[in-house]
Amino acid sequence: MSTFSDIFKSSFLENVTSVSMLDMILTLGLSFAVGLFIFYIYKKTYSGVMFSSSFGGTLIALTMITGMTILAVTSNVVLSLGMVGALSIVRFRTAIKEPMDIAFLFWSISAGIVIAAGMIPLAVFGSVIIGIIMLLFMNRRSAANPYIAVISCENRDAELSAAKFLAEKVERAVIKSKTAQSGNIEMTYEVRLKGDDTDFISALSEMNGVRSAVLVSYNGDYMG
């Protein structure tokens, strides 16, 4: 039968001092700083339609959580084996909509692991280099970005006139879909603009036989 003194001699209480307070402060503080930097890069390089601030906050939390977990694992070999088994039953069902979001998730996890492992220079300088590369190659916006033009016409003649006018005003126009109904023809084009001017879409909507014309920017992933 366990006595009151045996409780205080348990291995559970011995683990309280297995990680120093300085290690905890450094790990969590640096993880927060690096996670905040990753969030800044994510915000600056985001090119989607709707920016998700909750995902950016997740990057910060994920860096800190990973750092805390790895710090606990490195301080106790037995705990590391049990934690591997516990984490193996965790399943996530959230779909990743943007491919680059996966890179940011792995970046946050890797940064937390490296910081908790004590490789602070690698975590800091590695994150800075990755951030600079992403800013250089992902944050470029040009007039050649793809757009989707949706044109609704009354008849075949209006369709031909609209297609000819569109081809003259843009650098490239490729039809993606066409829907024909009685008294209505709707066409979807992928277009590349010659510049920043989008006034041609207003002129297109005012042509005879054209019911409406809509121009939408998108990321190039067409779902047909």
Mean pLDDT across 98-127: 88
Tokens of 114: 């490296």
Q: Which residue type sits at 110?
A: S
State the pLDDT at residue 194. Answer: 78
Rg (CA), the chain: 28
Percent of the chain with pLDDT over 70: 73
- Reported as a pLDDT band with limits 50, 70 and 90, residue 143 is very low
Q: What is the pLDDT of residue 50?
A: 64
Instruction: Using alpha carbons, list the distances in angstroms from residue 164 to 13, 59, 159, 167, 193.
Output: 79, 47, 9, 5, 15
**What pLDDT, on a 0 to 100 scale, did the predictor assign at position 183?**
80
Per-residue confidence band for 224, with pLDDT thresholds at 50, 70 and 90: very low
Q: What is the pLDDT of residues 76-97, one digit of tens each?
A: 655 555 565 555 555 656 666 6
Confidence of residue 223 (pLDDT cuts 50, 70, 90): very low
* Best CA proximity match to 146, nearest among 214, 197, 222: 222
pLDDT band at 7 (very low <50, low <70, confident <90, very high): very low
State the pLDDT at residue 15: 56
Report percent pLDDT > 90 for the chain. Answer: 13
Query: How far, in Å, CA of 35 to CA of 31, rounded?
Result: 6
The domain locations on the chain are 4-138, 146-217
What tokens does 151 get?
């044109």
User: What is the per-residue pLDDT across 43-76, written as a single tens digit (0 to 9) for each?
Assistant: 888 776 566 778 888 899 989 988 888 887 777 6
Side-chain half-sphere exposure of 121, counting CA atoms within 13 A: 0
Number of Cβ atoms within 10 Å of the Cβ of 101 = 17
Query: How deeply is 125 buried, as exposed, middle or buried, from its count of CB atoms within 10 A (0-12, 13-18, 19+)?
Result: exposed
pLDDT at 111: 92
3-state SS, residue 182? coil
DSSP 3-state assignment of 81?
A: helix
Q: Tell me the pLDDT tens digit for each residue of 120-142.
A: 899 999 999 999 998 888 765 54
Average pLDDT score over residue span 10-32: 74
pLDDT at 31: 93
Please state the pTM of the whole predicted model: 0.61
What does the longest C-alpha to C-alpha distance in the chain come to?
Answer: 95
Cβ atoms 166, 189 nearer than 8 A = yes
Please tell me the distance from the alpha carbon of residue 121 to that of residue 90, in angstroms, as a whole number. Answer: 31
pLDDT bin (cut points 50, 70, 90) of residue 39 is very high
Polymer length in residues for the chain: 224
CA angle 108/111/116 to nearest 5° reads 125
- Name the fold adopted by 146-217: Alpha-Beta Plaits (3.30.70)
Better-scored residue on pLDDT, 26 or 142: 26
